């Protein structure tokens, strides 16, 4: 059997050329997925707050809180989480919000980074949501003082998005006993 060099088929060449042009195009990524962030929504003093999931290690029910004398008022104490002692920050005190005390819905949101780990006291966990970074406005003009320093912004429905990295890097949160 004689092997003859194949002659090119103009239709096949055209199809291959179009396919190559299409594959050479850059991949378009829908920007809406790049601007979304997953958050935990929670309530503090009748206001709704959110923290990005990326820095949350665990959410734990508030069971026993041990007071530590000599700490700032916003450090409510420590909890024992599976043998690990975690300090608990009360943002109601830190942000000078009304305090309604603890309820059976109170939870501790454990934030973590390479340098620091602590819990934030929440009156109630509302759930996990996905919000668009584009929907976060810089801040409400009525928010002043220490609270504004720790905000990424406020969503259109009034949810206050906290800056987890600012909270985790602030020396005020580090208590040396």
Q: What is the DSSP letter of 61?
A: E
Q: For residue range 77-132, what is the model confidence (pLDDT) as tens digits?
A: 999 999 999 999 999 998 888 877 777 778 999 999 998 899 999 999 999 999 99
The three-point CA angle 170-176-177 to 5° equals 150
Residues 6 or more apart in contact with residue 74 via CB below 8 angstroms: 89, 90, 91, 93, 94
Nearest residue to 52 (alpha-carbon basis) of 158, 132, 156, 116: 132
Q: How far apart are the first and last CA of the chain?
A: 91
- Dump pLDDT digits (tens) for 49-68: 999 999 999 999 998 899 99
Q: Which two tokens stand for residue 150?
A: 């720790």
- Of 86, 40, 80, 39, nearest to 63 by C-alpha is 80
Cα 119 to Cα 55: distance, rounded to the nearest angstrom: 11
Burial (0-12, 13-18, 19+ Cβ within 10 Å), 5? exposed
Domains of the chain, CATH where assigned? 39-173 (2.40.50.180)
Whether residue 3 is predicted with pLDDT greater than 90 in this model: the reply is no
């Amino acid at each position: 059997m004689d092997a003859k060099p194949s002659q090119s088929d103009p239709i096949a060449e055209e199809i291959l050329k179009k396919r190559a042009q299409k594959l050479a195009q850059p991949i378009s990524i829908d920007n809406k997925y790049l601007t979304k962030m997953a958050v935990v929504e929670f309530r503090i003093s009748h206001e709704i707050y959110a923290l990005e999931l990326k820095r949350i290690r665990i959410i734990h029910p508030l069971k026993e809180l041990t007071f530590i004398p000599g700490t700032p008022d916003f450090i409510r104490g420590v909890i024992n989480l599976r043998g690990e002692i975690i300090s608990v920050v009360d943002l109601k005190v830190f942000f000078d919000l009304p305090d309604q005390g603890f309820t059976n819905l109170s939870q501790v949101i454990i934030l973590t980074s390479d340098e620091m780990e602590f819990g934030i006291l929440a009156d109630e966990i509302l759930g996990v949501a996905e919000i668009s970074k584009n929907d976060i406005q810089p801040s409400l003009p009525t928010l002043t003082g220490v609270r504004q320093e720790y905000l990424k912004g406020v969503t259109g429905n009034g949810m206050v998005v906290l800056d987890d990295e600012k909270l985790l890097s602030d020396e005020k949160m580090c208590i040396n006993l």
